[in-house]
Structure 1
Amino acid sequence: MFFLIILTFLVIQRLIELYIASQNERWMLQKGAIVYGQKHYPYMIILHVSFFLILIVEVVLSGQEPTRFWPILLGTFFLLQLARYWVIFTLGKYWNTKIIVLPGADLIEKGPFQYMKHPNYMIVTLELLVVPLMFQAYITAILFFFLNQWMLLIRIREENQALQQNLAGDK
């Protein structure tokens, strides 16, 4: 039941985020924004959908109970969610699951961005570890940690190039 609650929370959260992202994308494109990284984006979707599917399979097939450390991992999970919302609220209409850049806009350097350049990627990386570890899904944790790192190598490179080419101020 605990697994189902966490899984349902994550799926609903992701669907809401996709809705917000689509609204933000529409607004940004109306303002003249440019979409980058369209080649890797479908693979990123496959990666994240596969995470949920593999997690479900591993947890259900293994029949594992949550780890005895689940309270610590659950607390970490909720802190990660707060950090995720901090990123989303800080970026506002500029937040998206895609790489969309409005030429001439200022680089956002407040909120979590004053501490690191890509905080959401750190949050996602930690979440891809914490959730499976909470349910002793070690294969999922290891597999998707490395798959996500591979995806981030591609994505961060493209995002940095897009930002450098299009944003105002110091580049």
Structure 2
Amino acid sequence: MSCVRLLELRVARRNTRWATAVGGVECGRRLHPVMIVLHVGLLTGILAESALAHRPFVPALGGPALAVVILAQAGRWWCMRSLGPRWNTRIVVVPGMPLVHHGPYRRLRHPNYLVVVAEGIALPLVCTAWSTALLFTLLNTVFLAVWIRVENAALA
């Protein structure tokens, strides 16, 4: 999973360079480190809870959760492909560019965040780390409420 995250960060860095080169403006810059802490906390929490609480793999829970994680990854890559160079882990808006209305954006305004929510619940459950799933989901809900408000204002 960390390899996937590193690839996503590489794509995001490349897209940030492109966006700023064509006049893109970053909004909510102070929120980005919070997102990093949340996601590192998710991965760390999974490992810690699994090891320290001696959580066994439960196939009836872990199997379906793994299927959701795989679907979430497919959903994220669909979002990335649909947005092209505009996909980012930051809020970078290129003035004058129209919103994307194809792919998953045809039906949802923020499908990538639905993916993040699904993954934040399912990934810990693969390892029976239900406390991590609950804590991350609560913290991420608060974070996404702020992030989406900032992003919508930037896109308006």
Q: TM-score, normalised by structure 2?
A: 0.96
Q: Distance in 1 between matches of 2:59 and 2:11?
A: 36
Alignment of 1:20-169 (within 5 A): 20-69=11-60, 70-164=62-156
Deviations 1:17-43 (A, max 9, x none): 111100010011000000001111111
* Length, aligned pairs only: 155
8 Å contact kept, 2:46–2:127: no
Deviations 1:43-83 (A, max 9, x none): 11111111111111001112222222222222221111111
8 Å contact kept, 1:35–1:98: yes
Q: Distance in 2 between matches of 1:121 and 1:43?
A: 15
Runs (4 or more) in structure 1 with deviation over 3 Å come to: none
Paired residue type of 1:64: R
Q: Distance in 1 between matches of 2:90 and 2:72?
A: 20
Q: Distance in 2 between matches of 1:33 and 1:106?
A: 13
Paired residue type of 1:97: T
Paired residue type of 1:15: L
Moved more, 129-138 or 84-93: 129-138
8 Å contact kept, 2:12–2:88: yes
Paired residue type of 2:134: I
Q: Distance in 1 between matches of 2:134 and 2:92?
A: 30
8 Å contact kept, 1:67–1:133: no
Q: Distance in 1 between matches of 2:147 and 2:108?
A: 16
Q: TM-score, normalised by structure 1?
A: 0.88
Paired residue type of 2:24: A
